[in-house]
Structure 1
Amino acid sequence: MAKSTIVSAVLLLACTVVVSKPALAAVEPAPAYDVSLEACIKKMTQKCGLELFHNIFHDGPDVSDSCCSTLAEMGDPCHSEFVDVVLSNDKFYARTAEYLKRSSNAWKRCKSIVGGH
């Protein structure tokens, strides 16, 4: 698996605001692209990916209830894989413990919201 390719895909999903979904679909994955991550990306909307990314990696506001539903549907393995891939990037690695705590808090909060409905 080419980590830089996966990091690029996750950061592309999380960071692009002006690119539409059809444009994202046109990006060709590298041959070593992790198929499980591709399946995870298909479950997450761009809006929710940005909310989650900002919440965990930029101390942003809580993830909205509707995005919590998307996150819960996506599942913990996908959530963990997204976070791990971003943390493999040197820019984020130094604050791994902080980001893992935020990730866990976001997951627990979303599960409690979804479980409460």
Structure 2
Amino acid sequence: MAKSTIAFSALLLACFVLFELGLAKDAHQPAPGYDSSIEPCLKNMTEECGIEIFQNIFHEGPEVTDPCCGVLLKFGHPCHSELIEIVLSTGKFAPRESEILQKSTAAWKRCRSIVEGH
């Protein structure tokens, strides 16, 4: 049961990101920019926190909440960086790439500080 919940959450998160990017055109074909190497990472991300983090970094969403900071750290820095790069590789956010990279770094550092108490 837990594995199916994790898989479903990962699928919903991936669908949200792809829909947000306007890449979900054909359900039978992977979207351009989709990299299957991110799939193992997604098992450590919840749908709610994935959306919250995405909104914070790529839009003008509020700060990542403390509980989602814990999820982000469990997700791991390599997975976080890879997902940011995958989204940026689509070109949709190209004009704001520098800003997004700064927001990504700031979110990671803030969450690490909250979770680890540094």
The answer to whether the Cα contact below 8 Å between 2:57 and 2:104 also exists between their aligned partners in 1 is yes
* Alignment partners' CA distance in 2, 1:81 and 1:71: 13
**RMSD, matched Cα:** 2.6
Deviations 1:36-61 (A, max 9, x none): 30011111111000000000011210
The answer to whether the Cα contact below 8 Å between 1:10 and 1:86 also exists between their aligned partners in 2 is no
Partner of 1:53: 54
Letter in 2 for 1:76: H
* Alignment partners' CA distance in 1, 2:18 and 2:50: 8
The answer to whether the Cα contact below 8 Å between 1:87 and 1:96 also exists between their aligned partners in 2 is yes
What is the identity percentage for the equivalent residue pairs of Structure 1 and Structure 2?
49
Letter in 1 for 2:15: L
Give the TM-score normalised by the residue count of structure 2: 0.71
Partner of 2:78: 77
* Alignment partners' CA distance in 1, 2:13 and 2:101: 16
The answer to whether the Cα contact below 8 Å between 2:66 and 2:111 also exists between their aligned partners in 1 is yes
Report whether the alignment pairs 1:12 with 2:15: yes
Partner of 1:44: 45
* Alignment partners' CA distance in 2, 1:61 and 1:15: 21
* Alignment partners' CA distance in 1, 2:73 and 2:62: 18
* Greater RCO, CA 8 A, separation 6+: 1
Offset of 1:14 from its aligned partner? 3.7
Offset of 1:10 from its aligned partner? 6.5
Deviations 1:1-27 (A, max 9, x none): xxxxxxxx97524477xxxxxxxxxx7
Give the TM-score normalised by the residue count of structure 1: 0.72
The answer to whether the Cα contact below 8 Å between 2:35 and 2:86 also exists between their aligned partners in 1 is no
Partner of 1:67: 68
